[in-house]
A and B are shown apart, each in its own frame.
Chain A
Amino acid sequence: MSEQPGEDSSVSPAAATATAGVDVGGTFTDVVVLTARPRAVKVPTTPSDQVDGVLDGLRLGAGASDRVAVMAHGTTTATNAVLEREIARTVLVTTDGFADVLSIARQDRPSLYDLSVTRTAHLAAGTVTAHERTLPDGEPLVPLTHEEVERVVDAVAALEPDSVAVSLLFGFAADDHERRLSDALAGRLGVPVTRGSALLPEFREYERASTCVLNAAIAPVMQGYLAELDRRLPQTGITVMTSGGGTAGLDFAAAAPVHTLLSGPAAGVVAAGAVAASAGFDDAIAFDMGGTSTDVCLIRSGRPEIATDAAIDGMPFRTPAVAIHTVGAGGGSLAWVDPGGALRVGPRSAGAVPGPACYGRGGTEPAVTDAHAVLGHLDPDRELGGGLRLDVAAARRAITRLSDAADGAAGVLTVVRATMARALRRVSTERGVDPADLALVAYGGAGPLHATALARELGCAAVVIPPAPGVLSALGLLLAPLRYEAMRTVMSSPSDDIADVWTALEREAIAELRRQRPGAEPTSTRVADCRYAGQSHELRIDIPPDGDVAGAFHRAHRTAYGYAMTNEPVHIVTARVVAEADPALEALPSAWDQGKAGPDRRRRIHIGGEAVTARVCDRAGMTPHDAIEGPALIEQSDTTTLLGVGERALVDAVGNLVVTWDE
């Protein structure tokens, strides 16, 4: 631990102040602490109360003498609440005639052929409709009377909700009705009220109602969690990661927790973007392969793609979210031969218990990790905790359980590669992006073992592996700016004067950030969702400095879809202003504290069906400009990087491993 004060030390000369990123995952809570040298630790997540794990991690990472002045936080509280239905009793208030907006949804079924797959039950315990109606231009067709407000409040009160969502038809066009209902409900019931025109003033009634109900259902849970966190870390300024790749203040996250549904994964891709940029790649794919699933996300010009169709457990939410594509295969996924005679990997997983067979905790079915163990990719002397070591014999027994037709461990890896390659194509070639221009940024426990073979199959330019790939999300928390997006559906033409809207949105966004962080000096940018008249699909574009929205849209359309229709009128559907203030960390840290390095060694391993002798070295011993030729294994506490024959890794200035190869 460093005795030197950190850069932003101001309180006490005796204790250094630290900045920490703390990302709570399903199994581990990852912590990155910045004092003199960046340092990463992992502690077990404490599911019954995540706060305990967070504090454990801070103690271990920062030590007793460091005061954590700033903490950026990624939390699964909101996500878990939804997935486990540990939610508040929620009532939706909507317009007469639309009581079943959540049930009908978009009327499609989740599986074309499989009768066992049904739609997810929505989260509202009840719905109350109000006799009122606003027209698309904001004019009231049926005004909301005072008596009707009283009647609605009575009806909602009778349902005894813990949280309420108000989402009326065309509430984004005029928010008077929603405001009056929300105020009356909050005043009478004393429970959180989520108002659609505040949370998501955007058209499409089902998606907005779904977003509002998700928010309302988790708001009390999130408020409780964040209040506890704040109480136990009184000296620490806390921000929370949002799905869109920014951070937000505590009270914003408490009131609008739907923004945090992809908190951890978003932080990972933010950091992946920074890692790629630091290695000289503007465009990249983030490849996060964990134990049970793998997340991939396209990064363009250093920024993660933003999704248009984010959903959790079948329920859409339209708050900004990074466009992560998830496949149900990871290091713990089990291999099996299906009745048709094909070798499959996943979706079943060995889980944390018993885990892969090589963990020696009683697992007998072959997992992907077992294949690596059999092929020598994992250190046979590796400590697994509790005095256990890797059980290669158990892994071998598990792999031979696959029928004779399977090509054993190498076959399992080949199938994983095919599965992953398809996922990577989904976010690259299927979006018209040539992988030859992309770097693959590999992280998560299993990513660096698979990355180079995958990148070569896809034809990527390089693989980049950050210094601490097991805690990249925690680092991303520190790199993400404080961010707020104000929006409003305007349905206008570029020639219309909507200067008032822009000004109002800018004022709202900057005021919100200053409220979240007094003294902040946010920058703001104008963004718009546009489309051609007659289309129903919007593209998000930055408003160019010259104000030529149509021109910018034609260019964006050409990039995204391969053509533009310059004679067609362009519509601005939704206007947005994004305000951002400084992140906790401006640039990637270097000179990580990786612990002690042992001497290089050699091991017989199998790669691509061939037995080779690989050089094995510790990541901790590698410094900028070091180079290593495959076949090789680079080991660190939470992951192993596998270099195949003909692959070269070079350590760059910030400590990334940049892997390239001869074609």
Chain B
Amino acid sequence: MSDQREGPDGQGRRGKARSSQGRSSQGRSSQGRSGNNLSAVELEVVRHALAGVADEMGAALRRASYSPNIKERADCSAAVFDARGAMVAQAEHIPVHLGAMPASVIAAIDAFGDRLAPGVQVALNDPYQGGTHLPDLTLVAAVGDEDGRLLGYVANRAHHADVGGAAPGSMPASATDIAMEGVRIPPVIVADADGVREDVLGLIAANSRTPDERRGDLRAQFAANHVGAQRLASLGHRYGIEGLARAMTAVCDYTDRRVRAAVTAIPDGVYAFTDLLEVGDGVEIAVTLTVDGDAVTADFRSSGGQVAAPLNAVRAVTQSSAFFVFRMLTDPDAPPNEGCYRALDVVTAPGTIVDAAPPAPVAAGNVETSQRIVDVLLGAFAQALPERVPAASQGTMNNLLLGSADPAFSYYETIAGGEGATPTRDGMSGVHTGMTNTRNTPAEALELAYPLRVRRAELRADSGGQGRHRGGDGVVREVEVTCPQAVLTLQGERRWRGPWGLAGGGAGAAGRDAIVRADGTEEPVPSKGTWTLHAGDRVRVATPGGGGWGPPDEPPPDKSEQPR
């Protein structure tokens, strides 16, 4: 299959693993099915071995990292790839990295070809060349055997707290182009036979507000790849170069078999769904899902055009979101590798909000638009699998940033909400859903570190949608400023309309944001913007509830299934 990169004229680009060598998932899977017969025992042993490499890399990354974002919130992942760039194992901590890592490795191979030889490492964060948004920095290392023959690649990705741009945290709500969001790093060689290129590292660090922290976290990323390369090389030693290649393909084929078995159980048909992103007058995200035998196509080409605001998603984000839903609804326990999504073809048109083209800003595409892409896919799959698919969850990450220059501090948090009810149970309350799973900051930790006071952190009563199974409740988080002045930035969604219910279930409550001034006056504010707060002022974020499932008048058959 050729690389389709046509404009929004009805044609689009498809597939996931694309490079000058003309890889195609379909081609590889048929090849894989024919000639890689490992025994049931070998399969399980190799699966553990490859997953172990990814686990050890992930552990090394978190162990050696400096910033809490990586160490505590685990906003990072690590993966192993075969010599063709197909992912064979991943230790992912948040779903948004699931499909984004393969794009990074392909971009590095495309950029350097044979120059990306064993011992060479490439860094990148450019959303338009293998990245997702600028804070996520990926490091790719080629790994060879004793004779320098290519065994495969290891790569890891970490969210860096600041990569420059117009605002601390590199996610300015006001960005109208990507230059305002920070330093853009296309694939660049950062280590070769002579070691780490300090000049390039210096360039990256110098573009951050916190250069020492960047060096600390980058060092952890090098350490993780070092561990991964050693472990992969020892597997190469154990299995031989051909044996390892065969084993890697066999593990992906294995996952593919499990996934396709699940896809076959989905009724064939064409299912469409549309939802709205709350920017300008609203931008549509639309998908047409075609289920045909053991394969699925998700066509997003009729989605709206890209915007001059940070909500644009690059194609890798759209793929990640699609892979997330696909994994959730097929075989959630299958080993995460390229076989997870061979059976899924994602089609997008460049220039749309789900396949943005430069110079569109993209920081919130990763955190907000990704959530809406998940929703439209669930909406479409619900028509095929009404007994499996949950109602819409809060569908936003409720990004809250507070900071000031004097006293100097920067606090960033995403806030939980309600989970959509499923056909068999109530939705969970006060929980992260969809493309993120980062933890909150304890009030006591926050108050010890920042001139802030948490006044309230409670569930938002009755915000979950009605239904036979109720949607989970959102959260009310109220934070007071105790220093003279601080700047507040909010980035949220689902403020116009609440998350939808399914099968007759009601919608969850829409989110609401307000500033409560020190004198008690309350100002409702929109979900995206920047404001100045003074001592005693509070921001109150009430996050959306999840949608309900089933008509509310029918009581659930078994109360014991309900989470409290």
Dominant secondary structure at the A interface: loop
- Kindly count the residue-residue contacts between A and B in the assembled complex, taking CB atoms under 8 Å apart: 197
Contact at B71–A422, with CB atoms within 8 Å?
no
Pick the residue among A106, A414, A560 that contacts B41 (CB under 8 A): A414
Pick the residue among A100, A121, A422, A563 that contacts B51 (CB under 8 A): A422
**In the bound complex, CA of A537 to CA of B448 (Å):** 14
**In the bound complex, CA of A419 to CA of B41 (Å):** 12
Kindly name the residue among A100, A136, A491 whose own CB sees the greatest number of chain B CB atoms within 10 A. A100
**In the bound complex, CA of A275 to CA of B69 (Å):** 40
Cβ-closest chain A residue relative to B339: A340
Whether a CB of chain A sits under 8 angstroms from the CB of B557 is: no
Contact at A112–B95, with CB atoms within 8 Å?
yes
Whether a CB of chain A sits under 8 angstroms from the CB of B159 is: no
Contact at B40–A565, with CB atoms within 8 Å?
no
Contact at A535–B71, with CB atoms within 8 Å?
yes
- CB within 8 Å of B: which A101-124 residues: 101, 103-109, 111-115, 118-119, 121-122
Contact at B442–A203, with CB atoms within 8 Å?
yes
Chain B neighbourhood of A402, CB < 8 A: 40
Chain B neighbourhood of A204, CB < 8 A: 442, 444-445
Contact at B324–A537, with CB atoms within 8 Å?
no
Contact at B422–A415, with CB atoms within 8 Å?
no
**In the bound complex, CA of A317 to CA of B397 (Å):** 28
Whether a CB of chain A sits under 8 angstroms from the CB of B52 is: yes
Chain B neighbourhood of A206, CB < 8 A: 442
Chain A neighbourhood of B443, CB < 8 A: 98, 169, 205
Chain A neighbourhood of B334, CB < 8 A: 340
Pick the residue among A99, A106, A114, A563 that contacts B219 (CB under 8 A): A563
Pick the residue among A108, A338, A532 that contacts B439 (CB under 8 A): A108
Chain B neighbourhood of A105, CB < 8 A: 430
Chain A neighbourhood of B428, CB < 8 A: 109, 118-119
**In the bound complex, CA of A252 to CA of B414 (Å):** 41
**In the bound complex, CA of A560 to CA of B60 (Å):** 10
Pick the residue among B49, B63, B67, B429 that contacts A562 (CB under 8 A): B63
Contact at A418–B44, with CB atoms within 8 Å?
yes
**In the bound complex, CA of A322 to CA of B52 (Å):** 24
Pick the residue among A97, A136, A340 that contacts B258 (CB under 8 A): A340
List the one stretch of B108-116, B308-316, B449-457, B523-531 in contact with chain A.
B449-457
List the one stretch of A354-362, A405-413, A503-511 in contact with chain B.
A405-413
**In the bound complex, CA of A115 to CA of B475 (Å):** 21
**In the bound complex, CA of A340 to CA of B68 (Å):** 38
Pick the residue among A122, A411, A429 that contacts B40 (CB under 8 A): A411
**In the bound complex, CA of A169 to CA of B453 (Å):** 11
Contact at A118–B45, with CB atoms within 8 Å?
no
- CB within 8 Å of B: which A86-101 residues: 97-101
- CB within 8 Å of A: which B318-362 residues: 324, 327-328, 332-334
List the one stretch of A23-31, A146-154, A341-349, A469-477 in contact with chain B.
A341-349
Q: How many Å from the CB of A185 to the closest CB on chain B? A: 23
If A106-B440, A341-B257, A418-B48 touch, does A560 touch B63 (CB 8 Å cutoff)?
Answer: yes
Contact at B448–A104, with CB atoms within 8 Å?
no
Contact at B478–A97, with CB atoms within 8 Å?
yes
Whether a CB of chain B sits under 8 angstroms from the CB of A385 is: no
**In the bound complex, CA of A112 to CA of B458 (Å):** 23
Whether a CB of chain A sits under 8 angstroms from the CB of B56 is: yes
**In the bound complex, CA of A99 to CA of B415 (Å):** 17
**In the bound complex, CA of A591 to CA of B72 (Å):** 49
Contact at A136–B457, with CB atoms within 8 Å?
no
> Is the interface on chain B under 10, 10 to 19, 20 to 34, or 35 or more residues?
35 or more
Contact at B63–A407, with CB atoms within 8 Å?
no
Whether a CB of chain B sits under 8 angstroms from the CB of A339 is: yes
Whether a CB of chain B sits under 8 angstroms from the CB of A337 is: yes
Contact at A103–B448, with CB atoms within 8 Å?
no
- CB within 8 Å of B: which A325-374 residues: 337-344
Contact at A114–B332, with CB atoms within 8 Å?
yes
Contact at B257–A121, with CB atoms within 8 Å?
no
If A104-B440, A204-B444 touch, does A118 touch B563 (CB 8 Å cutoff)?
Answer: yes
Kindly name the residue among B67, B213, B437, B457 whose own CB sees the greatest number of chain A CB atoms within 10 A. B457
Whether a CB of chain B sits under 8 angstroms from the CB of A603 is: no
Whether a CB of chain B sits under 8 angstroms from the CB of A403 is: yes
Chain B neighbourhood of A59, CB < 8 A: none
**In the bound complex, CA of A205 to CA of B440 (Å):** 12
Kindly name the residue among A104, A109, A414, A419 whose own CB sees the greatest number of chain B CB atoms within 10 A. A104
Contact at B430–A104, with CB atoms within 8 Å?
yes
Chain B neighbourhood of A337, CB < 8 A: 40
Pick the residue among A99, A109, A561 that contacts B437 (CB under 8 A): A109
If A136-B448, A341-B254, A411-B40 touch, does A109 touch B431 (CB 8 Å cutoff)?
Answer: yes
Chain B neighbourhood of A169, CB < 8 A: 443-444
Q: How many Å from the CB of A503 to the closest CB on chain B? A: 23
Cβ-closest chain A residue relative to B443: A205
Whether a CB of chain B sits under 8 angstroms from the CB of A589 is: no
Chain A neighbourhood of B41, CB < 8 A: 343, 406-407, 411, 414-415
Whether a CB of chain A sits under 8 angstroms from the CB of B245 is: no
Q: How many Å from the CB of B416 to the closest CB on chain A? A: 4
Q: How many Å from the CB of B256 to the closest CB on chain A? A: 9
Whether a CB of chain A sits under 8 angstroms from the CB of B564 is: yes
Whether a CB of chain B sits under 8 angstroms from the CB of A131 is: no
Contact with A along B239-275 (1 / 0, CB 8 A): 0000000000000001101100100000000000000
Cβ-closest chain A residue relative to B259: A340
Whether a CB of chain B sits under 8 angstroms from the CB of A48 is: no
Whether a CB of chain B sits under 8 angstroms from the CB of A501 is: no
Cβ-closest chain A residue relative to B482: A135
Contact at B56–A342, with CB atoms within 8 Å?
no
Whether a CB of chain A sits under 8 angstroms from the CB of B390 is: yes
Contact at A119–B431, with CB atoms within 8 Å?
yes
**In the bound complex, CA of A495 to CA of B495 (Å):** 49
Chain B neighbourhood of A615, CB < 8 A: none
Whether a CB of chain B sits under 8 angstroms from the CB of A421 is: yes
If A407-B39, A411-B39 touch, does A108 touch B438 (CB 8 Å cutoff)?
Answer: yes
Contact at B66–A565, with CB atoms within 8 Å?
yes
**In the bound complex, CA of A207 to CA of B45 (Å):** 37
**In the bound complex, CA of A426 to CA of B60 (Å):** 11
Contact with A along B456-477 (1 / 0, CB 8 A): 1111000000000000000100
If A405-B40, A562-B63, A565-B66 touch, does A422 touch B458 (CB 8 Å cutoff)?
Answer: no
Whether a CB of chain B sits under 8 angstroms from the CB of A49 is: no
Chain B neighbourhood of A143, CB < 8 A: none
Chain B neighbourhood of A115, CB < 8 A: 328, 332, 388, 390, 422
**In the bound complex, CA of A469 to CA of B317 (Å):** 53
If A170-B444, A537-B72 touch, does A565 touch B216 (CB 8 Å cutoff)?
Answer: yes
Whether a CB of chain A sits under 8 angstroms from the CB of B372 is: no
**In the bound complex, CA of A108 to CA of B60 (Å):** 22
Contact at A536–B44, with CB atoms within 8 Å?
no
Pick the residue among B55, B63, B92, B439 that contacts A107 (CB under 8 A): B439
Whether a CB of chain B sits under 8 angstroms from the CB of A425 is: yes
**In the bound complex, CA of A406 to CA of B432 (Å):** 41
**In the bound complex, CA of A406 to CA of B429 (Å):** 44
If A97-B458, A536-B445, A560-B63 touch, does A429 touch B56 (CB 8 Å cutoff)?
Answer: yes
Q: How many Å from the CB of B192 to the closest CB on chain A? A: 23
* Contacts from A to B (Cβ < 8 Å): 97-101, 103-109, 111-115, 118-119, 121-122, 135-136, 169-170, 203-207, 337-344, 402-403, 405-407, 411, 414-415, 418-419, 421-422, 425-426, 429-432, 491, 532, 534-537, 560-563, 565
Given known contacts A103-B459, A106-B439, A561-B63, what 10 new A-B pairs fall within 8 Å (CB)? A103-B564, A112-B92, A114-B333, A136-B444, A339-B257, A340-B257, A402-B40, A425-B52, A535-B66, A565-B66
Q: What are 20 A-B contacts with C-beta separation under 8 Å?
A: A97-B456, A103-B430, A104-B440, A104-B458, A107-B415, A109-B428, A109-B433, A109-B437, A114-B332, A119-B431, A203-B445, A204-B442, A340-B255, A340-B261, A342-B40, A406-B40, A407-B41, A411-B41, A535-B66, A536-B68
The 5 closest A-B pairs by CB, nearest first: A430-B59, A113-B332, A107-B416, A121-B564, A104-B430
